[in-house]
Amino acid sequence: MVTFVDEVTLHLRAGKGGNGCVSTRREKFKPLAGPDGGNGGDGGNVVLVADTQTTTLLAYHHSPHRTGGNGGFGMGDLRSGIAGESLELLVPVGTVVKDTNGEVLLDMVEPGMRYIAAAGGIGGLGNAALSNPKRKAPGFALLGTPGWEGEVVLELKTIADVALVGYPSAGKSSLIAAMSAARPKIADYPFTTLHPNLGVVQAGEVRYTVADVPGLIEGASEGRGLGLEFLRHVERCTALLHVLDCATLEPNRDPISDLDVILGELAAYEVPEGQTPLLERPQLIALNKIDVPEAKDLADLVRPELEARGYRVFEISTVSHEGLRQLSFALASLVEESRVAPVAAPSPERVVLRTRANKVEFTVRVEGGTYGNLYRVLGEKPVRWVQQTDFANDEAVGYLADRLAKLGVEDGLFRAGAVPGSAVVIGEGDAVVFDWEPTLTSTAELMTAPRGSDPRLFEGHRRTSAAPSTKSAWMPRPRPAQRSKCSGSPVGPKTRRARTPGRKTSECLGAFGNPDRAPARRKGRLLVDLG
């Protein structure tokens, strides 16, 4: 049964943003109240939180799939949807967050650190937020965007003050059991320790933690044994304690040769940038198993040579607890010195990153295909706008065309060599494919078009596409000019009609009743009766 997990892969999916609402206020005595559709709520994030009470990633090993809450949809009467509930995942302090390519995203070394691993989707705007002088009563709303979905890798690096390193069966687990309340598995065969063990040691007024790392052998930095998997737990420790076995029965082994092999493996291990190399950290040596008579003699023999190299040497026995008190106070002094140094050093200046004003919003990539060139538009804004568009609504499609044209996508397509009718794809992979037609913007058309429609998407009004013998079904039936609201017979642009006493007069621009006669082309004024 797995009891310790130090690396897991999380499959995260943030919440989807809620859709906006299309609504119009219908209230007595307010015929022109206008749109009142609310916005959709944002999707919930998936947040990683560094917690001191969490010591393992075992919970995520059994259930790696985590999902955030979806946002609520907007409603009428300007009611916005509720925001999706964010999901907080507690991870141990010292967890490194990486992407699937191995790039480090964040190192959570401080308690309480928060990291948004998966951002929730953006809620869509309702038609009330989309109204402007050009579109006073939009018949569409924006859809909510999907949340981020992907994988992140969590790697736990134990945060301890002192790390016990040495060969397998050197007595590291017995030492941490004798100095603290930890109870690791102890046996007389190598590689008994399969995962790091933490123990808390109290030496006077100083309290520090000790990490028991699995045994290291020659070639551990290259993947031999278990060293490569657990050397990362050593890189966060302040001091190193070399535990040397003085009672080993293996041939060609002695405390000096064991120390040289361990130092070589620690030197070959590359620590992350900004951290102190392992061999430059404070180091102590513990000659273990001196309760054996032969081991005591060997310890007395090698101690002068080790002290000549500059190491502080302690002769200990985990069975009789000889020398453990002196060793614990020596380690406490090293830990206390390391804790005072960061406090005296000035805190580094926080760097604030700001986006550039001239950031490229999109790019156009030309891709060759069997049926001609394919123009792929890539960019954060165009992809998000396509996700927010309801393609079942013509007005929403026209709004998307206006946004893309304002961003300069059409100019970019012209520069890339696109012509009307070219295939344009927005986004990577299986994205939305368009048969591109240059946009013709007309305010009058949009203001007079029915809700939910866009005249630019209707091909029947063109002379080249309309049938010669029939008229469009959406055209209103013309009315006789003499029966129009402006009474009187049609007269020339500069002809005046005499006033009738006692009746009001008005000036009327153009001719009414015949939609085929454009009012903008009539420049004269008519004085007509309103009675």
Return the domain boundaries, the chain. 7-156, 162-344, 363-457, 476-531
Two structure tokens written together for 385:
């706008």
Alpha helices, DSSP H only, in 23-112? 58-62
Tens digits of residue pLDDT in 170-200: 777 788 888 876 665 554 544 555 556 777 8
Which of 258-272, 278-292, 361-375, 387-401 comes out lowest in average pLDDT?
Answer: 258-272
Indicate yes or no: pTM above 0.75: no
Q: How far lies 285's CA from each of 158, 245, 345, 447, in Å?
A: 22, 11, 29, 85
Distance CA 162, CA 236 (A): 9
CATH of domain 363-457: 3.30.300.350
Amino acid occupying residue 423: A
- Non-local (6+) Cβ contacts of 433 within 8 A are 423, 424, 425
In residues, how long is the chain? 531
Distance CA 116, CA 48 (A): 6
Q: Which fold has domain 162-344?
A: Rossmann fold (3.40.50)
Two structure tokens written together for 429:
């992979």
Distance CA 530, CA 201 (A): 102
The number of helices, as runs of H, and strands, as runs of E, in the chain is 11, 20
Q: Which fold has domain 7-156?
A: Spo0b-associated Gtp-binding Protein; Chain: A, (2.70.210)
Two structure tokens written together for 72:
């609520």
**Average pLDDT rounded to a whole number, residues 137-165:** 88
Q: Is 185 exposed, middle or buried (0-12, 13-18, 19+ CB in 10 A)?
A: exposed
What pLDDT, on the 0 to 100 scale, is given for residue 140?
A: 92
Amino acid occupying residue 139: G
CB 162 within 8 A of CB 238: yes
CB 97 within 8 A of CB 106: yes
Selected residue with higher pLDDT from 495 and 411? 411
Distance CA 66, CA 240 (A): 38
What pLDDT, on the 0 to 100 scale, is given for residue 476?
A: 35
**Average pLDDT rounded to a whole number, residues 128-141:** 88
> Rounded to 5 degrees, what are φ and ψ at 219?
90, 15
Two structure tokens written together for 102:
């191995």
Distance CA 243, CA 369 (A): 66
Selected residue with higher pLDDT from 461 and 457? 457
Alpha helices, DSSP H only, in 67-153? 127-130
